[in-house]
Structure 1
Amino acid sequence: MTILTNRSDAVFIRQLFTEIEEKMSNTAATILEHRTVLKLDGEDLVPFLQAVVTQDISLVTPEKSVWSALLTPQGKFLHEFFVTAPPKGGLLLDCEKDRAPDLLRRLKIYKMRSKATLEPTDDQYTVLALQGSDLSETLGLSKNKGASKEILGGCVYIDPRHQAMGARAIIPTENLSKFIEKYDLIKSTLETYDQARVTLGVPDGSRDLEIEKSILLENGFNELGAIDWDKGCYIGQELTARTKYRALIKKRLVPVKLTGPIPETGTDITIAGKNVGILRSVYGNQGLATLKIDALGSDQLLCDAANVTPQLPEWIEIDA
């Protein structure tokens, strides 16, 4: 049975995005300085990645991008990234900037004798998040998640996680000003982007997850489209599948509203002194918290002196 409590946040989310859009005379762009791009190429590239990451890489074309992850052999989170197909061939991975060397190192370990090249791009590309009304029409894309097209030597695509996340772009830095001018973009802030993202319940790599500890199914990666269940084996696939089919999920990462003194991330969440979760991220009075499923309907949640109200987004699937 799917839990249907605390769904009133759906109205709040719609209001939030409406308010953001009303402030925009044009499409807003947030330069994601905490993200960078890796460039992958070679004749064995697709079969090599297919055996390593969680999403079906054969789906990636210049018209479609995906979101995927790399796990430990035990099925724990290591990296998340977007995979796009640039106009000149190969693949581009939009990943966490500070952790890109680790992702590159791990991929090279699994590459073994595959004919594939994996390299950083340094500052050759800029990663952007785009928000605005009629976004797909503005960009000339369908509304389908992951819908992509080439632009100025890079690509722009509808966010494959959730349509309310807008679109993303990977643009050669030398063409960034042309891209901004082409779509008459106005500058937005990471704070605004994060508030919308967190209210929707969408995690952003190690900013919200624990490296080598978090499990994808506890953090929305299934509903948000990072896992292909029919592609066959990949690193960590056995535990991921067992977690799903044996219904082993006992906690979830969910958006929460904090009322009172804002606590620090990493603070325990309790009911009557009993630990039922932990605060992962805080942006204003909104946050992401890992909570036990049987605590999601409680109105007695505390994080230090702050009251915690879970606000489950419509996309999340939680079975009691």
Structure 2
Amino acid sequence: MTTPITARLTSRAVIAVSGPDWRSFLQGLLTQDVETLAPGELRFAGLLTPQGKLLHDLFVAGTDDGALLDVQADQRDALIQRLTIYRLRAKVTLEASDRPVLAVFGGEVAGEGLYVDPRLPALGARAYDDRPADADEDAYDAHRLALGVPGPADWGQERTYPIEANFDLLAGIDFKKGCFVGQETTSRMKRRGTIKTRMLPITFDGPPLAFGAEVLAGELRAGEVASGSDGRALALLRLDRIDGADLTVEGRPVRVEWPGWLPQP
């Protein structure tokens, strides 16, 4: 049995949500259903702009008296402020928490206090307690990148639609839950059945590619590079321009590597 790795995710922080109206409050805002969220369960979601672009990604972890929101640390205060604006008369409490965020991955993941990552089984689980860590966030990011799963550095804020960032394939959108902020645009993209752009892993030889560098299919723009490392990156690509094409970034050949969890068009 392989011993899992525990990595402290310093880029993440926690908001504790409680109060009698916490479920209905979040239900009307997030892309994911929380009405049926059980204690010990984790769900992946986004908070969108009214135009349907990603504003904040978050995990919602069910607790006995509410939920924990696992969010970008540098955006926590802004998110609390935005949620407070939406709160109106809802009986809900939003508090910054000092709980750490940890990812547990790379082996048999089970045990008390672990929230199974709903996106992919290979991503392992999250934890929000004081258990010791034996790796840093770079190790987890390398694991995530190897699986072809995008993260906040790839979609940014108000730049990307959640379907382009594969939220629909990574359990980040519940299309049956009813209204949420940005639902109209998100549902319309889903109903059309043809997604024009998606985030996909690309491979290449040599050092990392520049963030935002243009991906070319011949002389045609096919997308742009997002986050990455030596030999591998994620890119937002036009699906109609990459099939069978010779792709380059700043003159360097790159290749699309379709992850097994992402169906090819």
Q: TM-score range by the shorter chain?
A: over 0.9
Question: Given that residues 37 and 125 in structure 1 are in contact (C-alpha distance below 8 angstroms), is that contact kept between their aligned partners in structure 2?
Answer: yes
Cα distance in 1 for partners of 2:223, 2:45 equals: 26
The equivalent of 1:38 in structure 2 is 15
Cα distance in 2 for partners of 1:86, 1:275 equals: 46
State the percentage of identical aligned residues.
Answer: 35
User: How big is each residue's C-alpha offset from its partner over 1:214-237, in whole Å with a ceiling of 9 and x where there is no partner?
Assistant: 011111101100111111011000
Question: Given that residues 36 and 97 in structure 1 are in contact (C-alpha distance below 8 angstroms), is that contact kept between their aligned partners in structure 2?
Answer: yes
User: How big is each residue's C-alpha offset from its partner over 1:81-127, in whole Å with a ceiling of 9 and x where there is no partner?
Assistant: 1111234x121001100011111111111111111111211xx2110
Question: Given that residues 277 and 289 in structure 1 are in contact (C-alpha distance below 8 angstroms), is that contact kept between their aligned partners in structure 2?
Answer: yes
- Structure 2, gaps ≥5 residues long: none
The equivalent of 1:79 in structure 2 is 56
The code of the aligned residue for 1:132 comes to: G
The equivalent of 1:103 in structure 2 is 79
Question: Given that residues 11 and 74 in structure 2 are in contact (C-alpha distance below 8 angstroms), is that contact kept between their aligned partners in structure 1?
Answer: yes
Question: Is the counterpart of residue 57 in structure 1 residue 34 in structure 2?
Answer: yes
Q: Higher helix proportion, which one? A: 1
Cα distance in 2 for partners of 1:110, 1:92 equals: 18
TM-score normalized by structure 2? 0.94
Indicate which of 205, 211, 228 corresponds to 1:265: 211
Paired residues, what number? 265
Is the partner of 1:58 in helix, strand or coil? coil
Question: Is the counterpart of residue 313 in structure 1 residue 242 in structure 2?
Answer: no
Cα distance in 1 for partners of 2:83, 2:95 equals: 10
Shift of 1:297: 2.6
Indicate which of 94, 104, 112 corresponds to 1:118: 94
Is the partner of 1:129 in helix, strand or coil? strand
Question: Is the counterpart of residue 128 in structure 1 residue 105 in structure 2?
Answer: no
Indicate which of 288, 294, 298 corresponds to 2:244: 298
Indicate which of 203, 218, 230 corresponds to 2:150: 203
Shift of 1:33: 0.3
Tell me the C-alpha RMSD between the 2 structures.
1.7
The equivalent of 2:128 in structure 1 is 170
Question: Given that residues 106 and 124 in structure 2 are in contact (C-alpha distance below 8 angstroms), is that contact kept between their aligned partners in structure 1?
Answer: yes
The code of the aligned residue for 2:25 comes to: F
Shift of 1:47: 0.6
The equivalent of 1:252 in structure 2 is 198
Question: Given that residues 222 and 242 in structure 2 are in contact (C-alpha distance below 8 angstroms), is that contact kept between their aligned partners in structure 1?
Answer: no
- Structure 1, gaps ≥5 residues long: 1-20, 140-150, 181-185
Indicate which of 218, 224, 233 corresponds to 1:287: 233
Cα distance in 1 for partners of 2:167, 2:9 equals: 21
Go from structure 1 to structure 2 and tell me whether the alpha carbon gap of 1:260 and 1:299 turns closer, same or farther (over 3 Å shift).
farther
Cα distance in 2 for partners of 1:311, 1:134 equals: 26
The equivalent of 1:157 in structure 2 is 115
Is the partner of 1:217 in helix, strand or coil? coil
Cα distance in 1 for partners of 2:40, 2:142 equals: 29
Cα distance in 2 for partners of 1:59, 1:200 equals: 28
Question: Given that residues 267 and 303 in structure 1 are in contact (C-alpha distance below 8 angstroms), is that contact kept between their aligned partners in structure 2?
Answer: yes
The equivalent of 1:69 in structure 2 is 46
Cα distance in 1 for partners of 2:238, 2:103 equals: 31
TM-score normalized by structure 1? 0.79
